[in-house]
Structure 1
Amino acid sequence: MALFDLLGRHWTMGIIWNLEQGPATFRELQARCENVSPTVLNRRLAELRGAGIVEHSEQGYRLTRPGTALYGLLVPLGTWSKNWARRLERE
């Protein structure tokens, strides 16, 4: 349940999704996430670092090995949700 609580927070999954593209500095990640405020981004990064999903390196923030594995588990959910949305639009 702790994982679902973390993933359900505003911008958490967007940060994970964007870091899968590669490491990013704070500003680069903020630009990738477009509308995220610096306060929310900073808070989510701290939470994700505390959970061992994200780490800070010389290249910037990046997913850890467990973070990359988590992303791999989220991809099928993304596919499912797109199919679900299309089905709802047709109904």
Structure 2
Amino acid sequence: MSSTPKPGHRVRGSATGRPLMAALDLFGRRWTLRVLWELRHGPLGFRALQQECDGMSSSVLRQRLLELQEARLVERGSVESYCLTALGREASEELIGLHTWAERWAAELDTAPADHDK
């Protein structure tokens, strides 16, 4: 039995497995977003991906890659490399948008006084 979140199945936060809740469950797993982020520029071998992810443990990386393959966001390419699928590239594009927003958010927090400081 797989533990990979899937739409239509019970996931954290949703007994019905709404697609958004399944995606949030998958993306909320430690290192999952980082793996997608590091694969955004193209395929990487296991060791290279592990290095890009700040040396995360090989067992965790292996588990995340299996989950992402099962979710059809990552696939094994040629010569022992991993790459994003079409769905994975779409998710990566959304992450880039979130990254852009996060940069604006950080800048705003750096320049504006917090309400609780007043």
TM over 0.5: yes
Q: Structure 1: where are the runs of 5+ without partners?
A: none
| Higher helix content, 1 or 2 | 1
Partner in structure 1 of residue 95 of structure 2: 74
Percent identity of paired positions between Structure 1 and Structure 2: 42
Tell which has more relative contact order, 1 or 2 (C-alpha 8 A, sep 6+).
1
Partner in structure 1 of residue 36 of structure 2: 16
Give how far 1:39 is off: 1.4
Q: What is the TM-score normalised by the length of structure 2?
A: 0.72
Aligned length: 91
Q: What is the TM-score normalised by the length of structure 1?
A: 0.92
TM-superposition CA deviations, 1:8-30 (whole Å, max 9, x none): 11111111111112111111110
Partner in structure 1 of residue 58 of structure 2: 38
Partner residue of 2:67 out of 25, 32, 47:
47
CA RMSD of aligned residues (A): 1.1
Structure 1 outlier segments of 4+, above 4 Å: none
